[in-house]
């Protein structure tokens, strides 16, 4: 499995890792049921603390992208592709809104109207 | 010529040397004859001579068959293989001669002579010498294992230094053997059980290998539990290739040392080879090795 980090995004490293996984899942590069790299292996290869990777993985679990199981590692969940692709669109929307000076509350109002 | 020699002549010589004592002294052997000796050197197990001949013959056939398979897998396989073959042949021949001489002229198997530690140690020394002769005959350490130039893919990435690849490989054969060994080890008593359980843990360590590639280096870990784990600095790697591994060509599964290469083999098939200028190459049997090799080559290119 190939992940690309984006240091130019200015996000903290754990968020870059989570974003890279979301992007790969959304693009279909990582399939449902695939196993993410073991946290310790990934941390050592990126030369970061293992807790940075574990924080990214627990964020992904909270968003429903992966399942974390003791001994089995991090597995990409069923249906995570749609969640991850929506998440990527939302991230894009938030970034665009920030650039154009539209506040979060305004964007949320717009979204609510869209769903009404 | 060497191939022919290995395939037919050496096994034939082994058959002759192992079976000769039975042919010469057949009429002087008791039936059953002593086939096993206790720690005090006295005989404590017996079987008809024909059974011992059968077991030795079966071992010789098994060795000849595996010789053929190994030589077919690795035509260039050299000294270490010949050394092992000579040593096993000498060991079998020694067992045959020691047993026959001890049983010769005995009225029954209980009266068979002792097999002493001196006899056993001489047997091992003879086997080691035969191994050394085999090594020397086959050309000694002057033979180098040349590996055919593998496929060396490269990935086109905007920023290879910020990409991560992770792959793993697992082997059914090693996993199965490990589970069986641990299982029998847990129900078997005493030292045998402990030994089998430990052997099983070692086997399960080599049931899976994970390789993670990133800008700083390549991290390798073994087993489901990911230990031991080590890191190969990217600075020591000149490039990466994809290789198709035949475990027999590396002398089996597990951690294999060959001239110029250290391989971690959990299964046959696709593998990632890290070529290093100042140290031995490293080979890991992982799936999707092409992507991993591609990322290593892209990173090495970007670092230059």
pLDDT for B2 equals 59
List CB contacts (< 8 A) between B214 and chain A.
Answer: 42, 45-47
pLDDT at B276 over 50: yes
pLDDT for B148 equals 58
Chain-centre distance for alpha carbon B71 = 14
- Of A8-22, B91-105, B126-140, B258-272, which range is least confident? B126-140
Q: What's the mean pLDDT in B255-264? A: 90
CB–CB of B216 and A7 under 8 A? no
Q: Which residue has tokens 């070529």?
A: B275
Q: Best mutation site among B153, B214, B284 for testing chain A: the one with the most A CBs within 10 Å?
A: B214
pLDDT for B143 equals 38
List CB contacts (< 8 A) between A45 and chain B.
Answer: 164, 212-214, 216-219, 231
A98: its two tokens: 């920030």
**Distance from B205 to chain A by nearest Cα, in Å?**
14
Whether A47 contacts chain B with CB within 8 A: yes
List CB contacts (< 8 A) between A44 and chain B.
Answer: 212, 219, 229, 231
Whole-structure pTM over 0.90, yes or no? no
B247: its two tokens: 């475990």
**Distance from A48 to chain B by nearest Cα, in Å?**
11
pLDDT for B4 equals 61
pLDDT at B141 over 70: no
Three-class SS state of A103: coil
Q: What's the mean pLDDT in A2-26? A: 87
Q: Which of A2, A40, A41 sits opposite B163 (nearest CB)?
A: A2
Q: Which of B216, B224, B291 sits opposite A47 (nearest CB)?
A: B216
Q: Which chain B residue has its CA at the smallest distance from A5's CA?
A: B162
Stronger pLDDT, B71 or B64, i.e. the higher one: B64
**pLDDT band of B142, cuts 50, 70, 90:** very low
Q: What's the mean pLDDT in B195-199? A: 86
**pLDDT band of B76, cuts 50, 70, 90:** low
pLDDT, chain B, mean? 83
Q: What's the mean pLDDT in B19-28? A: 88
Contact assessment for residue B70 and residue B81, using Cβ atoms and an 8 Å cutoff: yes
pLDDT for B70 equals 65
Q: What's the mean pLDDT in B163-188? A: 88
**Distance from A99 to chain B by nearest Cα, in Å?**
24
Q: Which chain A residue has its CA at the smallest distance from B295's CA?
A: A2
Q: What's the mean pLDDT in B136-161? A: 67
pLDDT for B222 equals 95
Q: What's the mean pLDDT in B151-166? A: 85
What count of CB pairs under 8 Å joins A to B? 70
Interval A49-106: pLDDT, tens: 999 999 999 999 998 889 998 777 899 988 777 777 788 788 889 888 989 999 999 9
Q: How many CB atoms lie within 10 A of CB B14?
A: 23
Whether A31 contacts chain B with CB within 8 A: no
pLDDT for A103 equals 92
List CB contacts (< 8 A) between B167 and chain A.
Answer: 1
Contact assessment for residue B154 and residue B298, using Cβ atoms and an 8 Å cutoff: yes
CB–CB of B221 and A71 under 8 A? no
B282 closest CA partner among B253, B258, B247, B301: B258
pLDDT at A6 over 50: yes
A39: its two tokens: 């946290």
Q: What's the mean pLDDT in B237-249? A: 90
Whether A46 contacts chain B with CB within 8 A: yes
Interval B91-134: pLDDT, tens: 888 888 888 888 888 888 888 888 777 777 888 888 888 888 77
pLDDT for B77 equals 56
CB–CB of B229 and A42 under 8 A? no
pLDDT for B133 equals 78
pLDDT at B145 over 50: no
Interval A76-85: pLDDT, tens: 988 777 777 7
List CB contacts (< 8 A) between A36 and chain B.
Answer: 166
Torsion of CA B81, B84, B87, B91, to 10 degrees: -130
B175 closest CA partner among B138, B129, B223, B213: B223
Share of chain B above pLDDT 70, in %: 87
Inter-CA distances, B129 with B101, B141, B185, Å: 22, 16, 34
CB–CB of B219 and A44 under 8 A? yes
Q: What's the mean pLDDT in B22-47? A: 82
pLDDT for B114 equals 80
pLDDT for B140 equals 53
pLDDT for B187 equals 80
B212 closest CA partner among A71, A85, A12, A73: A73
SS (H, E, C) A37-66: CCHHHHHHHHCCCHHHHHHHHHHHHHCCCE
pLDDT at A112 over 60: yes
Task: Give the separation between CA B91 and CA B83, rounded to whole angstroms.
Answer: 12
Q: Which of A3, A7, A40 sits opposite B164 (nearest CB)?
A: A3
Whether A1 contacts chain B with CB within 8 A: yes
């Amino acid at each position: 499995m190939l992940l690309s980090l984006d240091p130019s995004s200015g996000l903290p490293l754990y968020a870059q890792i989570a974003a890279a996984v979301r992007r790969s899942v959304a693009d279909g590069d990582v399939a449902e049921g695939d196993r993410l790299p073991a946290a310790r292996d990934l941390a050592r290869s990126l030369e970061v603390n293992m807790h940075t990777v574990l924080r990214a993985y627990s964020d992904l679990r909270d968003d429903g992208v992966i399942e974390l199981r003791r001994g089995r590692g991090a597995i990409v969940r069923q249906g995570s592709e749609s969640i991850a692709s929506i998440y990527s669109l939302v991230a894009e929307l938030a970034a665009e809104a920030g650039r154009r000076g539209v506040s979060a509350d305004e964007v949320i109002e717009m979204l609510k109207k869209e769903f009404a | 010529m060497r191939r022919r020699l290995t395939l037919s002549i050496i096994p034939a010589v082994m058959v002759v040397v192992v079976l000769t004592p039975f042919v010469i002294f057949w009429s002087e052997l008791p039936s059953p004859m002593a086939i096993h000796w206790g720690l005090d050197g006295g005989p404590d197990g017996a079987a008809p001579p024909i059974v011992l001949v059968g077991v030795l013959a079966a071992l010789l056939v098994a060795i000849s068959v595996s010789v053929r398979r190994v030589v077919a897998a690795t035509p260039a396989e050299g000294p270490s293989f010949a050394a092992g073959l000579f040593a096993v042949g000498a060991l079998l021949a020694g067992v045959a001669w020691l047993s026959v001489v001890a049983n010769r002229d005995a009225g029954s198997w209980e009266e068979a002579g002792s097999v002493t530690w001196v006899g056993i140690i001489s047997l091992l020394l003879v086997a080691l010498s035969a191994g050394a002769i085999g090594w020397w005959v086959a050309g000694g350490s002057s033979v180098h294992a040349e590996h055919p130039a593998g496929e060396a893919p490269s990935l086109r990435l905007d920023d290879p230094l910020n990409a991560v690849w992770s792959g793993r490989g697992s082997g059914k054969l090693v996993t199965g053997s490990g589970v069986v060994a641990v299982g029998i080890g847990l129900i078997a008593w005493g030292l045998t059980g402990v030994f089998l359980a430990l052997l099983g843990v070692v086997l399960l360590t080599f049931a899976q290998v994970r390789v993670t590639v990133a800008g700083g280096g390549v991290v390798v870990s073994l087993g489901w539990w990911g230990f031991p784990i080590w890191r190969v600095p990217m600075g020591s790697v000149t490039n990466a290739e994809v290789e198709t591994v035949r475990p027999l060509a590396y002398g089996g599964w597990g951690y294999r040392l060959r001239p110029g290469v250290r391989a971690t083999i959990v299964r046959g098939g696709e593998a990632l080879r890290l070529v290093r200028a100042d140290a031995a190459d490293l080979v890991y049997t992982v799936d999707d090795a092409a992507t991993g090799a591609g990322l290593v080559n892209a990173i090495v290119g970007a670092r230059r």
